[in-house]
């Protein structure tokens, strides 16, 4: 997990750099909140899909329908990967908020 978290930190820094290529620092707490809220909501939507695909996969497993279980395992993997990306965007925008509006926070 330690190596994974290092990779996530690196990806977060990359996402933060990309955000600065397209948009300046936040001008106000309200602007930062709005951007972070959007990313959090997208993460929540993806996380719901993760749970939904997992539950459907389990239903197919219980009914010995491995082909459909595999199909939902693939959907689960895709949703989880997307949720991870959204979580990285949340972390990057939180850091952008700190960079934009903080002084002694790291």
Q: What is the per-residue pLDDT across 47-56, written as a single tens digit (0 to 9) for each? A: 999 999 999 9
Tell me how far apart the alpha carbons of residues 89 and 97 are, in angstroms, rounded to a whole number.
12
Tell me how far apart the alpha carbons of residues 53 and 9 are, in angstroms, rounded to a whole number.
27
Q: Would you list the domain boundaries of the chain?
A: 2-101
Residue-level pLDDT at 104: 54
Q: What is the DSSP letter of 64?
A: T
Q: What angle do CA 20, 23, 27 make, to 5 degrees?
A: 105
Tell me how far apart the alpha carbons of residues 44 and 87 are, in angstroms, rounded to a whole number.
9
Is 106's pLDDT higher than 90? Answer: no
């Amino acid at each position: 997990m330690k190596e994974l978290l290092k990779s996530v930190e690196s990806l977060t820094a990359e996402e933060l750099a990309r955000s600065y290529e397209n948009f300046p620092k936040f001008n106000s707490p309200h602007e930062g909140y709005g951007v972070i809220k959007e990313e959090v909501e997208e993460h929540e939507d993806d996380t719901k899909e993760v749970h939904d695909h997992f539950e459907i996969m389990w239903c197919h497993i219980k009914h010995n329908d491995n082909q459909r279980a595999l199909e939902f395992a693939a959907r689960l993997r895709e949703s989880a990967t997307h949720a991870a990306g959204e979580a990285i965007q949340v972390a990057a925008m939180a850091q952008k908020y700190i960079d934009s509006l903080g002084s002694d926070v790291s």
